[in-house]
Amino acid sequence: MSEKGYTLNPLTTLKAGKKADFRFTVTDAGGEPVTDYQVQHDKKMHFIVVSRDLDTFQHVHPEMAADGVWSVPLTLESAGAYRAFADFAPTGGEALTLGADLLVAGDHEPKPLPEETRTSTVDGYEVKLDGDLAAGSTGKLTLTVSKDGKPVTDLEPYLGAYGHLVALRAGDLAYLHVHPDGEPGDGKTKPGPEIVFYAEAPSAGGYRLFLDFQHEGKVRTADFTLRTGPATGAPTPDAEPTGHGEHSH
Ligand SMILES: [Cu+2]
């Protein structure tokens, strides 16, 4: 909720299933709302809301009023606990992600973490995840998008990239920073079907991954579950791929 003197302050309590303007501020060490932000991926504020059981995910872009109050229309469909993440960089400072719990009153049945899932289907698109998250080292993740069995080769740039990946650790919702490999217009990054990311897992465990991608004018989200093995602290003896990334069709 607080880091480097900056604090995320939710100002709105939401009711289950009711759309409302969710408002919040980021305050500085002096308690004043921050009003100057750097643009990252086309936006000054990236706001992510997940249910505590990592079943639901929303990535939205609030608008800021002159007094530093951010607001965004938000609906949390069911009662329960949620975590909000504000991903931003204050002008003159480094990028930060602050998190806060949002509680929605009512009965709630938490879902268990899904089994490892490497294929996600959304709106007729199939997205396949190859590669692994590794504890303590950077792993390459390749997401391949297809529609009706055909590779999608005309993904559209969304916020300066062909895909945005958010990874969260089950158990405490640690937020992983994931960096795309290349960007639209750099002369080498193709608009699909593959989107490549590099990510490091802070520990062994279960992770949920959410990929936002845009095609035919609409942004969709594909979701995955990965489990990482324990950190070995040493390279594995055989340098050959162990088959983690291979899948039969
Ligand atoms: Cu964003």
* Spacing, Cα 59 to ligand 1 middle (Å): 6
* Spacing, Cα 236 to ligand 1 middle (Å): 36
Q: What is the pLDDT, as a whole number, of residue 230?
A: 63
Percent of the chain exceeding pLDDT 90 equals 80
Asked whether residue 180 carries a pLDDT value surpassing 90, the answer given is no
Q: What is the pLDDT, as a whole number, of residue 240?
A: 42
* Spacing, Cα 48 to ligand 1 middle (Å): 8
Q: What is the pLDDT, as a whole number, of residue 237?
A: 42
* Spacing, Cα 212 to ligand 1 middle (Å): 9
**Secondary structure E strands in the chain:** 2-3, 6-10, 20-27, 46-51, 57-60, 63-64, 70-74, 80-88, 96-104, 119-122, 125-130, 138-147, 150-151, 164-169, 175-176, 179-180, 194-200, 205-215, 218-228
Integer Cα distance of 102 and 13 in angstroms = 7
Q: C-alpha dihedral over 20, 81, 67, 160, to 10 degrees? A: -90
- Rounded to an integer, what is the distance from CA 203 to the centroid of its chain? 18
**Closest listed residue to residue 157, CA positions, set 14, 37, 41:** 41
State the DSSP code for 112: P
**Closest listed residue to residue 182, CA positions, set 201, 208, 155:** 155
* Spacing, Cα 241 to ligand 1 middle (Å): 34
* Spacing, Cα 88 to ligand 1 middle (Å): 9
- 78-98 tens-digit pLDDT: 999 999 999 999 999 999 999
* Spacing, Cα 183 to ligand 1 middle (Å): 15
* Spacing, Cα 218 to ligand 1 middle (Å): 15
Integer Cα distance of 86 and 68 in angstroms = 14
Confidence bin at 228 (pLDDT 50/70/90): confident
Tokens 């990236």 appear where?
46
Mean pLDDT, the chain, whole residue set:
91
Percent of the chain exceeding pLDDT 70 equals 92
* Spacing, Cα 146 to ligand 1 middle (Å): 23
* Spacing, Cα 41 to ligand 1 middle (Å): 7
Task: Tell me if 213 sits within 8 A of 114, measured CB to CB.
Answer: no
* Spacing, Cα 229 to ligand 1 middle (Å): 30
Number of residues written out for the chain: 249
Tokens 């199939």 appear where?
126
Q: What is the pLDDT, as a whole number, of residue 231?
A: 55
* Spacing, Cα 60 to ligand 1 middle (Å): 6
Asked whether residue 212 carries a pLDDT value surpassing 70, the answer given is yes
What are residue 85's phi and psi, to 5 degrees? Answer: -125, 130
Asked whether residue 63 carries a pLDDT value surpassing 70, the answer given is yes
Integer Cα distance of 159 and 220 in angstroms = 13
Confidence bin at 103 (pLDDT 50/70/90): very high
Q: Which residues surround ligand 1, an ion (CB under 5 A)?
A: 46
Which strands, in side-by-side order, build the sheet including 80-88?
A: 57-60, 46-51, 80-88, 96-104
- 116-167 tens-digit pLDDT: 999 999 999 999 999 999 888 899 999 999 999 999 999 999 998 999 999 9
Residue 119 Cα distances to 37, 126, 171, 173, 218, angstroms: 36, 7, 22, 22, 20
Q: What is the pLDDT, as a whole number, of residue 178?
A: 85
Asked whether residue 219 carries a pLDDT value surpassing 70, the answer given is yes
What are residue 74's phi and psi, to 5 degrees? Answer: -145, 140
| Sign of the C-alpha dihedral computed for residues 55, 59, 65 and 66 taken in this order | positive
